């Protein structure tokens, strides 16, 4: 079966939704970078019916995203498109918001930098980017578990947990307007063009 399940998605989707319901209240079209299993997309599209949710990821993850989407039968949830930072062109979509969860620390630094720049360049004035995941503050890990997690993922070839100050320097054209502390030592950063 192609439908995959992520326990962390199940745990964090409600806390994230509480903030998206505020920051995406005037949004019409959201692009999700790195839809993963597809769970977040279904949950957020179902609970934010005023907007259209566009899924995207590397092609290997499309079967699971499609399985979740088909089971949900949501009219405001679109088929995934192929998108990988550093490889694929930015999609030509009428997007006024972008969401990503637990992708920035997987990307290599140059890919994360590219993502910040592309989001800033593609969103219209007033557009919103909500970015969820573990972050460093002023070069420091916010917990010992995040330090251990960073060592694990970098040893596996991932880019590692990024510093919020570094993200600010990469987000030219966007302002960090809110920083929400989230469960399990994560943050939800809210950027606006």
Task: Encode pLDDT of 83-106 as tens digits.
Answer: 999 999 999 999 999 999 999 999
pLDDT more than 90, % of the chain: 95
Mean pLDDT value of segment 133-154: 96
Residue 136: its pLDDT value, please? 97
Please report, for the chain, the start and end positions of each structural domain, with discontinuous segments joined by +. 7-192
The pLDDT mean for the chain works out to 96
Residue 131: its pLDDT value, please? 98
pTM for the model stands at: 0.96
Mean pLDDT value of segment 128-144: 96
Domain 7-192 indexed as CATH 3.40.50.150: yes
Question: Could you please report the per-residue DSSP string of the chain?
Answer: ------HHHHHHHHHHHHHHHHHTTT-SEEEEE--TTSHHHHHHHHH-TTSEEEEEE-GGGHHHHHHHHHHHT-TTEEEEEE--TTTSPPP----SEEEEES-TTTS-HHHHHHHHHHHHHHSPTT-EEEEEE--BBTTB-SSHHHHHHHHHHHHTT---PPBHHHHHHH-TT-EEEEEEEETTTEEEEEEE-
Residue 1 pLDDT > 70: no
Residue 7 pLDDT > 60: yes
Residue 189 pLDDT > 60: yes
């Amino acid at each position: 079966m192609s439908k995959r399940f992520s326990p962390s998605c199940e745990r964090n989707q409600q806390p994230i939704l509480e903030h998206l319901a505020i920051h995406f209240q005037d949004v019409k079209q959201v692009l999700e970078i790195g839809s993963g299993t597809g769970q977040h997309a279904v949950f957020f599209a179902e609970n934010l019916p005023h907007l259209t949710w566009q899924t995207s990821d590397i092609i290997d993850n499309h079967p699971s995203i499609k399985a979740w989407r088909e089971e949900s039968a949501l009219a405001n949830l679109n088929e995934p498109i192929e998108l990988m930072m550093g490889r694929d062109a930015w999609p030509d979509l009428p997007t006024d918001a972008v969401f990503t969860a637990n992708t920035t620390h997987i990307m290599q630094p140059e890919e994360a930098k590219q993502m910040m720049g592309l989001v800033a360049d593609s969103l219209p004035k007033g557009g919103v980017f909500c970015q969820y995941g573990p972050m460093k503050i002023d070069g420091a890990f916010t917990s010992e578990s995040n330090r251990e997690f960073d060592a694990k993922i970098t040893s596996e070839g991932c880019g590692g947990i990024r510093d919020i100050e570094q993200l600010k320097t990469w987000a030219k054209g966007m302002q960090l307007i809110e920083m929400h502390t989230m469960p399990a030592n994560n943050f939800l950063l809210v950027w606006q063009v």
